[in-house]
Structure 1
Amino acid sequence: MASKFNPPPNWPAAPDGWVPPADWQPDPAWGPLPEGWQLWIDDAVDPPAVLGKRNWFARHKVLSVVGGVLVLGLFGSIANGANGGSQASPLVADSPSPTAAPAVATKPAQATTAPAPKPTPTPTPPAAPVIPPAVEYAGVGDSILAITKPAGADVAAIVTFTHQGGSNFAVWSLDSAMERNDLLVNTIGVYGGTVLMDKRSADKSSSLEITADGPWTVKVASVQSATPWDGTTPLTSGGDNVILYSGKAGAASVTHDGSSNFAIWGYGSRSDLLINEIGPYSGTVRWMAGPAIFEVSADGGWTVTLQ
């Protein structure tokens, strides 16, 4: 009958079907054979061997626990061999003794990669405002002129007029019922200037009443087309004009060298009449912070310098 190798539980487990060579000797570190243990058993007679194992386990509970840890250690050695190390046989002589503290298999530390820093988003500059194109008209003498405000019927607009006659030149803004809203221009002879139309929210002008004795032009534009100024340098101009201001509040030095009415209105968080004089002027007035619109009425040259 065939016999098979039967190592005790305190020895390393042998692979299935393993047969010791003729000159093989067990490692002394494994300890002696348990009393009555048979290294070779009849392959056909299993119950006595099993019974022998059970009896031995009953007498050696401590050794059986250590043997179990030893088997786990061998599995770790095999795993290390599969990862590139030397793979040990289950019966290698450097296995720990049953009474020694089993070596604890440690898992190699895995390298950690620091997360890449998130790129700082580049701020997108605000898009430049889209300014609707101005609408231009021309005529001669007295007229009722239907107009279109480029930015919309419900918002303010600036209007630039020219007149080449020698007599009275006056312009009224009219609503849809042909009622007068505001007197925009009232002068004698040649004229050129820019004024603010529909400064009051209730005003929605759709026509102009023009009194003239010569040819004239009308240019209706968005308030965004007004003369820009941020207050960092002095502003020099002449005649009627509209300023689109974007600077800080402060005291402003103002001069005027004309001979007729000189007035400055400010429109921002509030409406404010800053100056209302006749003839030459020099003085310092309050100047509100932007965004704001300033309307200047003048018949000569003028300057504004923010202190």
Structure 2
Amino acid sequence: MWILGGVGAVVALCCGVGLVATLAGGGDSGTGNKNVTGVSAPTTGTTSAAAPAAAPTSAAPAPTTAAPPPAPKPKVYSGRGDDVVKVGQLTDLAVIKFSCPRCTSNTVLKSDGPEGLLVNTIGAYTGKRWINLEEDSLTTQFEVETNGKWTLTVGSVDQLATKAASGKVSGRGDDVIVLGGAAETAKITHSKGAGNFVVHAYSLESGEGGLLINEIGGYSGTRPLEAPALVQVTADGNWSISPV
């Protein structure tokens, strides 16, 4: 059973808050709850008018408390060719960004967590994937297979995911997105790509969701997508998500 913790809390994840799904080309098609605790929808940046200042009083000032320590920065690993990257025990939700801009042969990235195969392509690659979506997930290392220089960045959703406060977003290639807004459906498109086009989405309010799309090549259609949501796109072409 997947358990949804408190929803809408401030993101406070360095390498995590608990969220991992079966990635890249298939995976979880169920609608069970996922552990999206701590992921909050992006805001549009609007603020209300400031309230008038209160008249001074003679009351003693309230005691102050120390500010919480800043979240650790994303961890960055780099290398060339095949390698095994040990990252310690990551049990919380995280987003990874993998880049190998000059690779010309097979480009593969695997984790020892539940998602397993994260990237499997030929040639250059830059994209984002989530890890540790499932409750009690544990990732300790990544396996890289390339013939070029690569960079692997591991950080929290707040640090690395693409933010879309209005619920409308577009991009190219693999990405992890935090959608804002309050839509129940979305128009989704994929063009200029010939490979797998896969979209997973999980509501930040209910934790429900799963596999929305699993097609090859171009795509255009409207699917149920309860925003705000955490979304993962697997694509080799241009894609867009628009609330309708």
Which residue does 1:272 correspond to in 2?
210
Instruction: Tell me, yes or no, if structure 1 residue 304 matches structure 2 residue 241.
Output: yes
TM-score using structure 2 length: 0.65
Deviations 1:45-78 (A, max 9, x none): xxxxxxxxxxxxxxxxxxxxxxxxxxxxxxxxxx
Which residue does 1:160 correspond to in 2?
97
**Cα distance between partner residues in 1 of 2:78 and 2:127:** 15
Larger Rg: 1
TM-score using structure 1 length: 0.53
Instruction: Tell me, yes or no, if structure 1 residue 281 matches structure 2 residue 219.
Output: yes
**Cα distance between partner residues in 1 of 2:233 and 2:222:** 15
Deviations 1:113-140 (A, max 9, x none): xxxxxx69xxxxxx9xx65411111101
Alpha-carbon shift at residue 181 of structure 1 (Å): 4.8
Alpha-carbon shift at residue 229 of structure 1 (Å): 1.4
Root mean square deviation, CA, Å = 2.2
Matched-pair contact (CA < 8 Å) for 2:82–2:146: yes
Which is richer in helix? 1
Higher RCO structure (Cα 8 Å, ≥6 apart)? 2
In structure 2, do the counterparts of structure 1 residues 172 and 249 end up closer, same or farther at CA, with 3 Å as the change threshold? same
Instruction: Tell me, yes or no, if structure 1 residue 144 matches structure 2 residue 78.
Output: no
Task: Describe the SS at the equivalent of 1:155.
Answer: coil
**Cα distance between partner residues in 2 of 1:142 and 1:251:** 42
Aligned length: 173
| Equivalent runs, 1:27-176 vs 2, <5 Å | 131-147=71-87, 153-163=90-100, 164-174=102-112
Task: Describe the SS at the equivalent of 2:158.
Answer: helix
Which is richer in strand? 2
Deviations 1:85-141 (A, max 9, x none): xxxxxxxxxxxxxxxxxxxxxxxxxxxxxxxxxx69xxxxxx9xx654111111011
Matched-pair contact (CA < 8 Å) for 1:131–1:224: no
**Cα distance between partner residues in 1 of 2:211 and 2:186:** 14
Instruction: Tell me, yes or no, if structure 1 residue 219 matches structure 2 residue 153.
Output: yes
Task: Describe the SS at the equivalent of 1:224.
Answer: helix
Instruction: Tell me, yes or no, if structure 1 residue 260 matches structure 2 residue 195.
Output: yes
In structure 2, do the counterparts of structure 1 residues 270 and 286 end up closer, same or farther at CA, with 3 Å as the change threshold? same
**Cα distance between partner residues in 2 of 1:181 and 1:201:** 12
Q: Structure 2: 5+ residue runs without aligned partners?
A: 1-53, 56-66
Q: Structure 1: 5+ residue runs without aligned partners?
A: 1-118, 121-126
**Cα distance between partner residues in 2 of 1:272 and 1:253:** 17
Which residue does 1:124 correspond to in 2?
none
**Cα distance between partner residues in 1 of 2:78 and 2:130:** 19
Task: Report the residue type matching 2:139 in the other structure.
Answer: S
Instruction: Tell me, yes or no, if structure 1 residue 185 matches structure 2 residue 152.
Output: no
Task: Report the residue type matching 1:264 in the other structure.
Answer: V
